[in-house]
């Protein structure tokens, strides 16, 4: 069911028509103009430059924060009064937003309310695990719940619209924004997209705890060549439609009120000015009724792309392609009036974009309730106990047990040596894009362990980028029964503009692990990172490896829950862990090639690296074991019904994610060796058996032909049902 229709009502359409009949051209163009609060004072360079300098270590955090404390957010109030600004991004706080909204509503000629957008990517103040971590829960109920909580807190902060969910398929671990993504698989990302949008938008967009969602980045941003952010994307239109577009189609069907195009190009045309994507696909094929907002400064950057001679031509192309709102580049406000006078654009084109934006302002209820009525709502909402509890639940379920030779779970009486900078660094638990997150809200790993055990000794021994203190390492581990080494990346090493050309452990952390393993004591590596890492030595030599990502405010407690066995880990990887950076992009649903890799020389392989990844998509161990049996396949004409029995053959209850993969054996186009088509989570007490049924609709078995027609071809298919993308019970069917 396509929920876009909920954005349209005849009554509202006539109100919009009445209002637009009163608007001047400048006021109309003002609705298409989104500004960011500028920071005045404090900085002798633009804020963005200062931020970049701090993130790159060219300005100390203390100096940056000192400048920030002297800076003042300035909302260009005269332009708001004049109706030249219709929206702001980057402002959070009920009192602040009410103040600027009051100017728009009570001091501008027509009183059109502002719509306030914000990057609430994985929680607002209750910071959840980064999206790549949360996706490892494979739990659509949790995806929705964390979206609902994020919406409630963001709305309490005065925010109407969030630039989320980010649903870029990410196959290249070098790309820093893989941290923000739901991973490499299209089906899982589509499940994630629908759940997030339902969570953010709720049942009623005008409700005080709902926010408009903005799935991004439309489209294929994760295909950036070299994994280098903002780089060109060169993919076939079939891959575009089979891999990258489906989560956005699902997002539109789920009723998303807005969409943000990506910085990159498709077929040499930047998404920001790509009429094929923004009009033919998004509006005509998908039926999208919301509005589009460019990414930051992206319209102006079409000049850098070389598809516009100047901002005026960029503005003309963007409006004609289907960009309704200009994020922070001033291209529209500076150029549309003259473009109209020159008849380069039409009044209808401007009116269509204005209507789309006003439609969402009405849908959000901003004309009836432009203000946060109760400014205390923030204090009453932010960090509610049930939100913090939910953050702990999601965090522990995001943890992926990659390896365990039996050293886990840890006995609570054991003497523990805890090492690594990231074990005792609260702020690092927040991960990228945690704008309102505060380190004082975070539980460190040291705190989490100490809450359970009295026998924890901590020494940093090694920072992420520094030297190993061998003396300290030997001292702290001397009388330990077990060693926990927390290693990984700083949160600034992933996220936007944070691609890495080498995805091994930074610094000397692997050297630290080697010293620890040489002690002969059990060593557990806990990974804190925003991307898959190439860790073949760690996987081979460390006794247990726990992928803990950046888990948000409850990181320490969640990690302790898993390490001590109070929670049986259930996470499953949603991205492949390559053996070397050179394997990137590495993803499970790849084609075979004419010479599938192997030991024979003349096959698709590397001279200096293995072909296989270290950990595959879907991988994740448990403290118990599961046995799959009795696979049955029924072709019911419109769907394939697959039944399987699964038994918990260990002595600990746990939750398993049963995965169904298919392969189209022979087709008119090359098909992937495997594709995830369904999954179910199942809770099993020790010794318990259950039957799990998974269905795959026949029309989901298709692909796009050379004319971009979606086709389902008859023929034989293989299928696998199991615990990850590498192994499982095998069967076949024919359609
Ligand atoms: C950034 C990001 C986008 C974000 C926007 C506003 O450049 O690409 O994801 O929503 O700007 O901050």
Confidence of residue 600 (pLDDT cuts 50, 70, 90): confident
Per-residue pLDDT at 443 = 98
Q: What is the pLDDT of residues 331-349, one digit of tens each?
A: 999 999 999 999 999 999 9
Lowest mean pLDDT among 22-36, 365-379, 616-630: 365-379
89 CB near ligand 1 (under 6 Å): yes
496 CB near ligand 1 (under 6 Å): yes
Q: Hey, whose CA ends up nearest to atom 3 of ligand 1?
A: 295
> With 80 as the cut, is the pLDDT of residue 48 above it?
no
Q: Name residue 426's beta-bridge partners.
A: none
Q: 574 and 222 in contact (C-beta within 8 Å)? A: no
Q: 70 and 98 in contact (C-beta within 8 Å)? A: no
> With 90 as the cut, is the pLDDT of residue 59 above it?
no
Per-residue pLDDT at 433 = 96
119 CB near ligand 1 (under 6 Å): yes
Question: In this structure, what are the phi and psi dihedrals at residue 300, rounded to the nearest 5 degrees?
Answer: -60, -30
In sequence order, the 6+-apart residues with CB closer than 8 A to the CB of 442 are 127, 426, 427, 429, 430, 552, 553, 555, 556
- The pLDDT mean for the chain works out to 96
How much distance in Å is there from the Cα of 295 to the middle of ligand 1?
6
Q: Hey, whose CA ends up nearest to atom 6 of ligand 1?
A: 296
Q: What is the pLDDT of residues 269-301, one digit of tens each?
A: 999 999 999 999 999 999 999 999 999 999 999
Which atom of ligand 1 lies at the shortest distance from residue 163's CA?
Answer: 10
Task: Measure the CA angle with vertex 471, ends 465 and 477; round to 5°.
Answer: 95
Q: What is the pLDDT of residues 77-104, one digit of tens each?
A: 999 999 999 999 999 999 999 999 999 9
In angstroms, how far is the first alpha carbon of the chain from the final one? Answer: 26
Which tokens hold the place of 629?
């049996």
Whether the bond between 324 and the residue before it is cis, its omega within 30 degrees of 0, is no
How much distance in Å is there from the Cα of 68 to the middle of ligand 1?
20
Q: What is the DSSP string of 28-58?
A: HHHHTEEE-PEEESS-SS-HHHHHHHHHTTS
Q: What is the rounded average pLDDT of the residues 682-704?
A: 98
Q: What is the pLDDT of residues 624-649, one digit of tens each?
A: 999 999 999 999 999 999 999 999 99
Confidence of residue 60 (pLDDT cuts 50, 70, 90): confident
> With 90 as the cut, is the pLDDT of residue 61 above it?
no
How much distance in Å is there from the Cα of 296 to the middle of ligand 1?
6
Query: Residue 65, Cβ neighbours under 10 Å: how many?
Result: 10
Whether residue 295 lies in the annotated active site: yes
3-state secondary structure 610-652: CCCCCECCCCCECCCCEEEEEEEEEECCCEEEEEEEEEECCCC
Closest CA to 521 of 485, 480, 560: 480
Which tokens hold the place of 715?
């023929």
Which tokens hold the place of 408?
């886990």
Q: Hey, whose CA ends up nearest to atom 1 of ligand 1?
A: 296
Q: 657 and 443 in contact (C-beta within 8 Å)? A: no
Q: What does DSSP say about strands 33-35 and 326-327: parallel, antiparallel, or unpaired?
A: parallel
138 CB near ligand 1 (under 6 Å): no
Of 52, 88, 117, 119, best ligand 1 pocket probe by most atoms within 8 Å of the beta carbon: 119
Q: What is the rounded average pLDDT of the residues 720-730?
A: 98
Closest CA to 728 of 650, 665, 652, 644: 644
229 CB near ligand 1 (under 6 Å): no
How much distance in Å is there from the Cα of 294 to the middle of ligand 1?
9
How much distance in Å is there from the Cα of 315 to the middle of ligand 1?
19
Measured CA to CA, the distance from residue 152 to residue 130 in angstroms comes to 18
Q: Which of 168, 229, 295, 441 is catalytic?
A: 295
Share of the chain above pLDDT 90, in %: 92
Closest CA to 555 of 450, 452, 443: 443
Q: What is the rounded average pLDDT of the residues 657-668?
A: 98
Which atom of ligand 1 lies at the shortest distance from residue 216's CA?
Answer: 9
How much distance in Å is there from the Cα of 367 to the middle of ligand 1?
27
Confidence of residue 464 (pLDDT cuts 50, 70, 90): very high
Q: Between 598 and 244, name the one with better pLDDT.
A: 244
163 CB near ligand 1 (under 6 Å): yes
Provide the whole-model pTM. Answer: 0.97
> With 90 as the cut, is the pLDDT of residue 595 above it?
yes
Share of the chain above pLDDT 70, in %: 100
656 CB near ligand 1 (under 6 Å): no
Per-residue pLDDT at 64 = 82
Helix axes 509-518, 470-477, angle to 10 degrees: 40
Which atom of ligand 1 lies at the shortest distance from residue 328's CA?
Answer: 6
* SS3 category, 279: helix
> With 80 as the cut, is the pLDDT of residue 528 above it?
yes
Per-residue pLDDT at 8 = 86
Which secondary structure element, helix H or strand E, spans residue 69, and what is its range? helix 61-70
Q: How many CA atoms lie within 13 A of 440 on its CB side?
A: 0
Per-residue pLDDT at 49 = 75
Residue with tokens 């259930």: 570
């Amino acid at each position: 069911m396509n929920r876009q229709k909920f954005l349209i009502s005849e009554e509202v359409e006539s109100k919009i028509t009445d209002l637009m009949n009163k608007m001047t051209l400048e006021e109309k163009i003002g609705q298409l103009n989104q500004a960011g609060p500028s920071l005045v004072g404090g900085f002798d360079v633009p804020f963005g430059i200062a931020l970049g300098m701090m993130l790159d270590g060219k300005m100390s955090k203390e100096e940056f924060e000192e400048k920030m404390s002297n800076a003042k957010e300035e909302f260009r109030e005269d332009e708001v009064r004049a109706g030249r600004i219709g929206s702001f991004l980057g402002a959070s706080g009920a009192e602040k937003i009410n103040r600027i909204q009051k100017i728009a509503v009570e001091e501008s000629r027509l009183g059109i309310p502002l719509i306030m957008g914000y990057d609430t990517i994985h929680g607002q103040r209750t910071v959840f695990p980064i999206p790549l971590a949360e996706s490892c829960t494979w739990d659509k109920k949790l995806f929705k719940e964390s979206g609902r909580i994020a919406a409630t807190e963001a709305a309490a902060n005065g925010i109407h619209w969030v630039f989320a969910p980010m649903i870029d398929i990410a196959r290249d671990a070098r790309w820093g924004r893989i941290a923000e993504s739901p991973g490499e698989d299209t089906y899982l990302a589509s499940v994630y997209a629908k759940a997030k949008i339902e969570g953010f938008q709720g049942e009623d967009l005008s409700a005080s705890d709902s926010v408009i969602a903005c799935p991004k980045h439309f489209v294929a941003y994760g295909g950036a060549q070299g994994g280098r952010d903002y780089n060109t994307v060169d993919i076939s239109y079939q891959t575009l439609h089979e891999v990258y577009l489906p989560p956005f189609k699902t997002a539109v069907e789920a009723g998303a009120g807005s969409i943000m195009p990506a910085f990159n190009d498709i077929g040499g045309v930047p998404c920001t000015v790509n009429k094929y994507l923004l009009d033919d696909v998004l509006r005509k094929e998908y039926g999208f009724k919301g509005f589009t907002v460019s990414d930051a400064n992206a319209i102006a950057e079409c000049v850098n792309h070389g598809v516009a001679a100047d901002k005026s031509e960029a503005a003309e192309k963007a409006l004609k392609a289907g960009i309704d709102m200009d994020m922070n580049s001033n291209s529209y406000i500076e150029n549309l009036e003259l473009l109209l006078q020159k008849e380069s654009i039409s009044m209808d084109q401007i009116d269509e974009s204005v209507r789309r934006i006003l439609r969402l302002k009405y849908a959000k209820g901003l004309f009836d309730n432009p203000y946060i009525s109760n400014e205390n709502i923030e204090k009453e909402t932010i960090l509610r106990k049930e939100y913090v509890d939910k953050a702990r639940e999601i965090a522990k379920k995001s943890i992926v047990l990659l390896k365990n030779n039996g050293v886990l779970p840890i006995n609570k009486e054991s003497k523990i040596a805890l090492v690594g900078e990231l074990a005792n660094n609260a702020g690092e638990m927040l991960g990228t894009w945690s704008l309102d997150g505060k380190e004082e809200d975070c539980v460190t790993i040291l705190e989490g362990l100490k809450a359970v055990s009295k026998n924890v000794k901590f020494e940093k021994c090694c920072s992420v980028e520094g030297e190993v203190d061998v003396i300290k390492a030997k001292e702290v581990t001397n009388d330990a029964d077990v060693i926990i080494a927390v290693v990984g990346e700083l949160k600034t090493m992933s996220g936007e503009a944070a691609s890495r050309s080498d995805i091994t452990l930074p610094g000397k952390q692997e050297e630290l692990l080697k010293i620890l393993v040489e002690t002969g004591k059990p060593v557990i590596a806990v990974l804190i990172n925003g991307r898959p890492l190439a860790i073949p030595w760690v996987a081979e030599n460390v006794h247990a490896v726990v992928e803990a990502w950046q888990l948000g405010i409850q990181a320490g407690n969640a990690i302790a829950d898993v390490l001590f066995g109070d929670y049986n880990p259930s996470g499953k990887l949603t991205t492949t862990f390559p053996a070397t950076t050179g394997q990137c992009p590495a993803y499970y649903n790849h084609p075979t090639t004419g010479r599938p890799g192997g030991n024979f020389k003349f096959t698709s392989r590397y001279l200096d690296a293995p072909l296989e990844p270290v950990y595959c998509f879907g991988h994740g161990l448990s403290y118990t074991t599961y046995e799959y049996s009795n696979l049955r396949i029924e072709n019911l004409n419109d769907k394939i019904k697959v039944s399987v029995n699964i038994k918990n053959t260990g002595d600990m209850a746990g939750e398993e994610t049963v995965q169904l993969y298919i392969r189209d054996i022979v087709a008119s186009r090359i098909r992937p060796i495997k594709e995830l088509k369904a999954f179910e989570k199942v809770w099993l007490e020790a010794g318990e058996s259950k039957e799990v049924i998974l269905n795959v609709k026949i029309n989901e078995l298709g692909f796009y032909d050379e004319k971009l027609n979606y086709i389902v071809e008859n023929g034989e298919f293989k299928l696998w049902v199991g615990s990850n993308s590498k192994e499982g019970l095998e069967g076949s069917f024919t359609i």
